[in-house]
Copies of this chain bind each other. A is one copy, B any other.
Amino acid sequence: QINSDRLWSTLEEMAKIGATPAGGCNRQALTDLDRQARDLFVHWAQEAGCTVEIDEVGNIFARREGTEPDAPAVLAGSHLDTQATGGKYDGVYGVLAGLEVLRVIHENAIATRAPLEVAVWTNEEGCRFAPAMLGSGVVSGAYTRDFAYDVQDKSGLRLRDELERIGYMGERAAAPRPYAAMFEAHIEQGPILEKEGLTIGAVTGIQGAYWFDVTFTGQSCHAGPTPMEMRRDPWDAALPVMAGVLALARANGPWGRATIGDVRAEPGSRNTVPNTLTVSIDIRHPDADTLEEMVGQLRALVELECSAHTIESKIEQVWHMPATAFDPALVECVASAADRLGYSWMRMVSGAGHDSLHTAQFAPTTMIFVPCADGLSHNEAESATISDLAAGANVLLQVMLEMASE
Residues of A participating in the B interface, judged by any CB pair closer than 8 Å: 83-85, 125-127, 130, 132, 188-192, 207, 209, 211, 219-230, 233, 235-236, 239-240, 242-243, 246, 249-250, 253-254, 256-263, 265-275, 280, 282, 284, 318, 350-353, 375-379
Query: Out of B127, B239, B377, which one reaches A243, CB within 8 Å?
Result: B239
A246–B352 Cα distance when bound, in Å, is 36
The answer on a CB contact under 8 Å between A83 and B272 is yes
List B contacts of A211 (CB < 8 A).
270-271
Given contacts A228-B256, A350-B225, contact A242 B246 (CB under 8 A): no
CB-based contact A226/B191 at 8 Å: yes
CA A275 to CA B381, docked complex, whole Å = 12
Instruction: Provide the bound-state CA to CA distance between A261 and B233, in Å.
Output: 10
Chain B CB within 10 Å, residue with most, of A127, A236, A253, A268? A268
CA distance in complex: A318, B209 (Å) = 39
Check if B126 sits within 8 Å of A271, measured CB to CB: yes
**A312: min CB distance to chain B, Å:** 16
A203 to B317, CA, bound (A): 50
B260 engages A235 (CB within 8 Å)? yes
A262-B223 Cα distance, complex, nearest whole Å: 12
CA A13 to CA B98, docked complex, whole Å: 67
**B224 contacts A353, C-beta separation under 8 Å:** yes
